[in-house]
Every structure is written in C-alpha cells, then in structure tokens.
Structure 1
Amino acid sequence: MSGRLDGKTALVTGGSRGIGRGIALRLGADGARVAVHYGGNETAAKETVTEIEAAGGRAFALRAELGVPGDAEALWAAFDRDADGLDILVNNAGITLYETIENVTEEDYDRVFAVNAKAPFFIVKHGLERLRDGGRIVNVSTGATRIAMPGIGAYAMTKGALEAMTLSLAQQLGPRGITVNSVAPGIVETDMNAWLADPAARAEAAAYSVFDRVGQPADLAGIVAFLASDDAGWVTGQRIDATGGSLLGLAPAA
C-alpha cells in the first residue's frame, strides 16, 4: 500500500467507533501507521485494526480511559510501547450530554469537560515531545459551536474550548511547521446518534443540510485526511465547517 501519508504515524483518539473509526480507516488507507485509541470497547478497536490491515495498512490498538486523573500519561505510555514518534494527532474522542441547562448537574458538567476539553489539552501537552516537526493536530469539534442547540449546550461549550485551543496552539507551534486545525461535523450517522433510526427524526436531520442527507463518517474522514497531508501545510488555526451546509439560511416562510 502506498499513499500520501506514507511513513507517517497517526494517533486517533476514540478511533474504534463512529467518526474516529472512519478517520482511522482513511488515514490507514492513505499510508499512515494508525494508533487506534479506545476507552472500553476492545473488540471494536481490534476490528478497526484488522480492517486497516486487511486493506494493506498498518495499525495497532491502545487503551486509555479519558476523563480521569493521569489519562494523558496513560495514553502516551501505551502509545510508546508500539511507536517511537508521532506525525498526526487527531483529538476525536468525546462524549455527548443531551440536556438543557436546567437539567445539567455539576457531575454531568465536570464529566463532559473532563473528557472533551481537559483530556485533549493534556494529551497535546504530553504529546508535544513526541510530535515531530512538520506534524499535524486535528481537533474534532461540532457544528453546534455555530448553530444554537440548547439541548446540547454544555457539550457545545466543551467544543468551543477545543476551538480556542486550536487557535492558541496554531500560533505557538507554527515555528515548528506544525499545523493545528479543527473540523466541525454536523449530524453524523454513528451509534452515538441511534435516534436516527426513527425515519421522521432522520428526515428532519437530513433537511438541515443543503444536500438533504445525514453525514457519514467518511465525509469527515476525507477532510481530516486532507488536513493531515502535506497538501494542507499552509492551512492552520482554522475551523472547517463540515456540517454539509447545515442551516446556512433562514427557514423558508410558511
């Protein structure tokens, strides 16, 4: 197998399922050796590794629970057992919180921030010594930092923090030739969005996009693969809207 990421090593957090799995598969197909991180579903992680290898790529799985003390150090210790440096870091792992503000507890709030914002921050902190010059960091955000969705307000706040980190890191790491960007998906068909199985809900979600369909992991994976490549070396500090043009205009008059 050969591709534009030949010779590169990538780490995708939450790479065993959903969007992360799609990203891992695409980076592997493009030639990168992919570290597939998972938090609990070892079977899914091994299946992702097997699929990458069956297509001629290289991959390995590593486990680290995020959102707990020492999570970043544990992740990198697991990574170091199979790799000696990194070129591409994709901060994808995250959890959702479907509650409006009056129903969010302090425990809910702390948990979603610990996994979605704190963990990526310290993963980057402890990963900088491993990330080679000319490397890539891609942070997976959400379209809900642009589109008001009160039902996931706390979740959207975590992703707003991730986008702020994208900007500051892009400035800091530019002298090393490292690019830092965020990708903001809309509604994507993953097991996290099991409600899409309802035909009426799916039709409503599809109507948000100008393409009148729900996003797929591969839609996001292609964008991340571009940002991870040499072709994107002049793109940094950017938020790429990957919502399929969701809610670009006002709703039509009745």
Structure 2
Amino acid sequence: MTGTRTGPGAESAGLAAAGGKLLTGAKVLVTGGTRGVGRGIVSVLAAAGADVATCYRQDAEAAAALERELKRNGGDHHVLRADLAQPEEIARLVAECGTRFGRLDAVVNNAGAISHIPYGELPLDEWHRVIDTNLTAAHLVVQHALPLLPEGASVVNVGSKSAEVGIPLRAHYTAAKAALAGLSRSLAKELGPRGIRVNVLAPGVIETEAIGALPAEQAAAMRERYSRKTALGRLGAPDEVGGAVLFLVSGLSRYVTGEVLHVDGGIS
C-alpha cells in the first residue's frame, strides 16, 4: 500500500479549508450518519458550514460521540433515532427536519444494509430487508422531503461500485444499488424543472470501522487485496467520500444531475 494518511479530523478540516464554507446556512439531512462513510459525510458537510440532521438505528454510543463532535464544530445539528426499514419512522424523521429546519437544501441517502448469503439460500425476508433499507427507504425519504426542497436543492443517493461489477453473495445488495441509480436518473429528469438535482455517489472500498473490527490478519489481507486493485494503491477514507458529497450538494455542481460519481481510487 502506498501513501500516508493523517487522522480523520485533520482530513475533514483540510477538505473544509480547501472548499471554504461552501454550505454556510444550508440545511442538510444525511441518513445513517453516525458511523463509517455516513459519519465522514456528516463531518465534512458540518465543517463546510451546513446545519446537519442525521439519524441512527441502534448504536447510541456512536450517536453520542458524533453529537459531541458536532457540538464542538458549532451550528444547528441534530442526531435523531430512526429505523429506516419502517416507513412511519421515515415520515417522522423528515417531518422532524421540517420542524427544526423549515426546509432541506440537500438530502443525502446514505443509510444501508448488507449481508453475504449464497443466492440459492437467500431468504425472502432478507431480500426484503436489504432492498427496503437501500432502495425503498431512499425513495420514501425523497418523497417525504419534496415539500421541503427549494429550487436549487440537491439529492445525493449513495450507491456502490458493486452495482456495476456484481459481487458474489451480494445479489440482493447489488440489485438494490443498481435500482437506486435508475431511480436517481428518473428523478433527475422529473425534478429538474423544479431546479432540484439528483445524483448518485458510488464509493469503492472504504476504510471504516467494519474493517478495523476484523481480526488483524483478515483486515490486513483485505487492505492488501483491494489496494492492489486500485490505481492509487490504497483504500479510501470516509472523509474522501464526504468531499465528493460536498461537491454534489454545493453550488460547485449546479449543472450536474442524473450522474453517477465514482469515488473508488480507480479500482478495477
């Protein structure tokens, strides 16, 4: 593996410094923002001046840690509990954003679910769980958020490189992410006349807590394997996904819609 990295706080601060306060006063909802890629997105957007609402399902410790971080940064931020597999909780989450913010200048659908199961053994309830969390939840979040989205608003749906290449044992996951791209392209055309942009951000292999939680040998093997596959020779970091989201929700990308932006280090 090549290259060196600094700590995540320094990375987010560096991205914010590079982009300035691009989102000062913007109101943003990021689903699934207390860990991993979602936390990187929240941290970068908050550092860029946005007021961010995010949600978590069950990891209260991670939520509390994020709340402390956001409080240090300043701004009007909210970390709310919501199970996005439950349609009524999605409605409640978006309504809460309306109450607290009055509008949403950007929506980032990051919350997701994944499992690794041979296709012949894939239970129907697990198919529904993964499809509902990765696809149906994004659809419902956007649908409920429509009254809160002004002209110039941006929707970013977090997809996956796997939707294009396919991965064994993840047929349900890749199907959901591929469908998310189709949904986004249709919404880009339907909502474009309202001045609302819709794009997909497709990360590659990102170094998150999930990799860190693996046994040391397994984590090292995974890093080595995927580093060899990328043009940059390393895994990505959550804040690097956050930087791409910052571009897509800011005015820097005001003529970009219906696109899939790959943040994958040139993986092959």
Structure-to-structure mapping, 1:186-205, within 5 angstroms: 186-193=204-211, 194-195=213-214, 197=216, 198=218, 199-205=220-226
Structure-to-structure mapping, 1:37-116, within 5 angstroms: 37-116=55-134
Deviation at 1:196, TM superposition (A): 7.8
* Superposed CA RMSD: 1.7
Cα deviation 1:77-122 (Å, max 9, x = unaligned): 3323422111010000001121231121111101101111111101
Note closer, same or farther for the CA distance 1:53–1:80 as it changes in structure 2 (3 Å cut): same
Higher helix share: 2
Note closer, same or farther for the CA distance 1:69–1:30 as it changes in structure 2 (3 Å cut): closer
Distance 2:214 2:257 in 1: 35
Distance 1:56 1:94 in 2: 28
Q: Does 2:201 match 1:183? A: yes
Aligned equivalent of 2:6? none
Note closer, same or farther for the CA distance 1:192–1:153 as it changes in structure 2 (3 Å cut): farther
Aligned equivalent of 2:182? 164
Cα deviation 1:151-207 (Å, max 9, x = unaligned): 222101111111111101100111111111001011111133444842122211221
Q: Which secondary structure state, in structure 2, belongs to the residue aligned with residue 133 of structure 1?
A: coil
* Range moving further from structure 2, 49-58 or 113-122: 49-58
Distance 2:73 2:259 in 1: 32
Higher strand share: 1
Which of 234, 241, 245 aligns to 1:213? It is 234
User: 2:129 corresponds to which letter in structure 1?
Assistant: R
Note closer, same or farther for the CA distance 1:69–1:58 as it changes in structure 2 (3 Å cut): closer
Q: Number of aligned residue pairs: give it.
A: 247
TM-score by length of 2: 0.87
List structure 1 runs of 4+ shifted beyond 6 angstroms: none
Distance 1:160 1:118 in 2: 13
User: Is the Cα–Cα contact under 8 Å of residues 37 and 208 in structure 2 kept in the other structure?
Assistant: yes
Note closer, same or farther for the CA distance 1:158–1:196 as it changes in structure 2 (3 Å cut): farther
Distance 2:94 2:60 in 1: 17
Cα deviation 1:205-254 (Å, max 9, x = unaligned): 2212111111110110100000011010000000011111111xxxxxxx
